[in-house]
A and B are shown apart, each in its own frame.
Chain A
Amino acid sequence: MAGLSFDNYRRNKSLEASGVLPPKTTSTGTTIVGCKFNGGVILSADTRATAGMVVADKNCLKLHRLAPNIWCAGAGTASDNDKVTELESSQLEIHSQWTGRAPRVVTALTHLKQHLFKYQGHVGAYLIIAGVDVTGSHLFSLHAHGSTDVGPYLALGSGSMAALSVLESKWKEDLTKEEAMELCSEAIMAGVFNDLASGSNVDLCVIEKGKPSRLHRGYKQPNQRLQKQRNYNFDIGTTSYFEAGSEVFYISKQSDLETSAMEVDQVS
């Protein structure tokens, strides 16, 4: 049966002890927040992905669609977030086709927490899950070890405390959609400007009862690249080489080309 296999744990420990380090992962050292409002819920995230102190991606998307009415924001290990949300969105789709109903937020939450608990925190996904369903609008947070939390406003990631400083001083009950959007983006901006692992732009997703979910990619873009002073094109002939030559290849059949492409390249 899948899961709960720690066969390689001791091997990895001994490899580590002998100096073989595990590979560096891309971390979405992140600021993510969620906030409820009258009639729905909002998710928001920054767009910086880091590897150590180096920016790996300046505009990555940390908001994932689990179902048309359920979205989630991820902090922690980038690959774990991508995979675990991809897996969950498939499961929810199958589940909703089987039951003939739109999926519920608690279904996603329960399924994800069971999956993460099984991996005892080794799957480093830290999620804020938000959505609307037949029972109303919901906002949850989920830690990599499997614990969950409920609240009208939540923040996760390395910039969560900067975001919370905004949420704790400005949140009030019965927010309108516009107020909640402003609050969430301001909370993310606090993370962007005060936490080094968070940065670049603000993405924001509005999930409303009875309306299609709306992803605002690049909702705020406060960090535009400054114009370069000079042009850095090289003149032809700058790079030295030992000899030059060329060979011409002919493609005999069109099918040679098609079979050489990987299957995944043709999807989407």
Chain B
Amino acid sequence: MQHTQEKWGRPRDDVYGPYDASYLNSEPRTQTLQPTVTGTSVIGMKFNNGVVIAADNLASYGSLRRFIDQERLIKVGSETVVGVGGDVSDLQTIEEIMEGLEISESYDEPAQSLTAPNIHSYLQRIMYKRRSKLDPLWNALVIGGFKNDEPYLAFIDLLGTTYTAPAVASGFGSYLAIPILRKLVDREGDQQNVSKEQAVDAIKEAMKVLFYRDGRALDKYSLAILSKKDGKPDVEILKDVRVENQNWSMAKQIKGFGTQDE
């Protein structure tokens, strides 16, 4: 113990060493500082009585094509699908959270059915809470389902930012897929004039362009088609869908990078 007036109460420097103030300059504890194993874009669009969502099956480790059978569409409740991009371990955390939500909601009698707006709100609160703890879940989420029998489509990112639109996409999809999807559904309400077949075709076309141009995309993906038949939800998740009708005919025209003829 030191007894001089300005230092009393402190351990003696000659015995314990000077006060170590380094922790004052250290940074707060954080978990995911950067994503490791990641999934690329998730895309989705509305049609006249439902929603289509797609995400490919690749989990990348940086530029390594690490896992080629990663499922990134999660069915939650009976009429909602959540598509997840970004960190895959955080995806699995979200999967567990969704499982927990389903179980706790099933205790009620009669069991309340979870709707897309419920799940959207719940996930948004989780994402915003985690960003506020500076410990984000490094994901972008696309939520598709129904609100009062009308198609419902929403987006959430790792900061808790959220919005709804008739066509949404994460990652590269927001640059490459959105222009294709917006040709059918530019503003809210346009989906009234779009059939399920048109929507599925547009999503398939967008997945093809993403495979062409996104270096972290795969030509194998899952496709969720959610529709309502007589007020009843019908959720169809097609797995191992392949990118079809690719056109590589331009390749033979390209020789060198300018002045080469042959």
Contacts and interface: CB of A to CB of B under 8 A. Distances in A.
Touch between chains A and B, by CB atoms below 8 Å: yes
A165 B258 contact: no
Given A152-B253, A153-B250, A173-B249, A190 B209 contact: no
Contact of A148 (B182, B253, B257): B257
B253 to A, nearest CB: 5
B38 to A, nearest CB: 19
A150 B258 contact: yes
Contact of A165 (B177, B250, B257): B177
B208 interface: yes
A32 to B, nearest CB: 16
B259 A106 contact: yes
A113 interface: yes
Nearest to B175: A161
Contacts, number: 66
B257 A168 contact: no
B205 A169 contact: yes
Contacts of B180: 165-166, 169
A193 B255 contact: no
A190 B181 CA distance: 11
A149 B205 contact: no
Query: Could you say which of A152, A165, A194 has the most chain B C-beta atoms within 10 Å of its C-beta?
Result: A165
B213 A171 contact: no
A166 B208 CA distance: 12
Contacts of B177: 165
Given A151-B250, A152-B250, A194-B182, A165 B176 contact: yes
Interface string A126-152: 000000000000001000000111111
A194 B178 contact: yes
A161 B179 CA distance: 9
Nearest to B205: A169
Contacts of A113: 258
B250 A150 contact: no
A193 B213 contact: no
A148 B179 contact: no
Contacts of A190: 179
A135 to B, nearest CB: 8
B17 interface: no
B203 to A, nearest CB: 12
Interface in A82-113: 106, 109-110, 113
B111 to A, nearest CB: 42
A153 B177 CA distance: 19
A147 B257 contact: yes
Nearest to B214: A161
B256 interface: yes
Interface in B208-226: 208-209, 212-213
A109 B258 CA distance: 8
A13 interface: no
Interface in A234-260: none
Contacts of B186: 193
Contacts of A193: 179, 182, 186
B247 interface: yes
B238 interface: no
Contacts of B182: 193-194
B33 interface: no
Contacts of B255: 150
Contacts of A165: 175-177, 179-180, 206, 209
Given A148-B257, A150-B256, A168 B179 contact: no
Interface in B233-254: 247, 249-250, 253-254
B4 to A, nearest CB: 42
A164 B253 contact: no
A162 interface: yes
Contacts of B179: 162, 165-166, 190, 193-194
Query: Could you say which of A106, A140, A161, A190 has the most chain B C-beta atoms within 10 Å of its C-beta?
Result: A161
Contacts of A109: 258-259
Interface string B178-212: 11101000100000000000000000011011001
A122 interface: no
Interface of A: 106, 109-110, 113, 140, 147-153, 161-162, 164-166, 168-169, 171-173, 190, 193-194
10 contacts: A109-B258, A110-B258, A140-B258, A150-B257, A151-B250, A152-B253, A164-B209, A168-B212, A171-B247, A194-B178
3 residue pairs, one from A and one from B, having the closest CB atoms: A161-B175, A190-B179, A162-B179
Given A106-B259, A161-B172, A165-B176, 17 more contacts: A106-B258, A148-B258, A150-B256, A161-B213, A162-B175, A162-B178, A164-B176, A164-B209, A165-B180, A165-B209, A169-B180, A169-B208, A171-B247, A172-B247, A173-B249, A193-B182, A193-B186
